[in-house]
Amino acid sequence: MTLQEIIDGCRDQARDDGANDVDRLWTDEEMVRYINRIQRRIARETLCLKDATTAAVCVLTLTPVDYTTYVSGTLDYIWANDSASPLYQKDVTPYLVDLHDSILEIEEVKSLTFTNRLRKVSSQKWRNHLQWEQFITQPTEYATDLAHKKIAFKGRSLTVQEMQMTVKRLPLVDLDIATPTGVPEIPVNYHDFFHNGVMERMYRKQDAETLDKAKADEYKELFLDDLDEIKRQERIILNDYIAVNNSLSAFR
């Protein structure tokens, strides 16, 4: 569905049939704001927006840092100037890297340099290994701090490493009424689920002609059911993805 189709469907349901914003109860700007908010909520709560191809989000290039440029007092500076450290006077890749702000969850990390999949672990595991931040090797494990949009790697390389991630994320760009043919980023089979969420927002508009708490609460319950259905569908997809193959015929 396009942005305009979602807007038209909601206006038809609310019988908001004015010819332009002057005659309508809900302006184009308000409708687009509701739709963008609902799209972000669907993506955040159901993790249905999966991405492995957007380079700006999914590809991390780890480049060795010139050890002479480390800021005094930082751990890397201390290690690079400690003759007892494995990192003494070595240019190595960083162990802590910023993630794109849109990322909600990381499903997989693969090394494009060595074509191997990295193992996801808890950072608690690494605390049993002193100096884990100083291991010089190709990265083999990773841990995440998604609250602060960080990923940490165990293994620091002397050469450039390129990582490809499969992530669940938020939409990258808001829909805009200037492009009414724009299509939401979430999977097309979930586009119908915008309707009840947008209708709830419409009936919560603080205006004598639009505010209707009873209708808003009714659409809220319907939208919560929609979110549960998307989550159910996503679980089915995941289960199909990881299901055990009982015979080699699955690969023919």
Domain ranges of the chain: 3-49+171-238, 51-169
Kindly give the confidence (pLDDT) of every residue in the chain, 252 residues in length, as a single tens digit, with 9 standing for 90 and above: 999 999 999 999 999 999 999 999 999 999 999 999 999 999 999 999 999 999 999 999 999 999 999 999 999 999 999 999 999 999 999 999 999 999 999 999 999 998 899 999 987 777 777 788 999 999 999 999 999 999 999 999 999 999 999 999 999 999 999 999 999 999 999 999 999 999 999 999 999 999 999 999 999 999 999 999 999 999 876 665 544 333 334 333
DSSP string, the chain: --HHHHHHHHHHHHT---SSTTT-SS-HHHHHHHHHHHHHHHHHHH---EES--HHHHEEEE-PBPGGGSPTTSHHHHHHT-TTSTTTT--B--SEEEPPTTEEEEEEEEETTTTEEPEE--HHHHTTSTTGGG-BS---EEEEEGGGTEEEEE-B-SS-EEEEEEEEE--SS---TTSTT---SS-GGGGGGHHHHHHHHHHTSSSTTT--HHHHHHHHHHHHHHHHHHHHHHHHHHHHHHPPPSSGGGG-
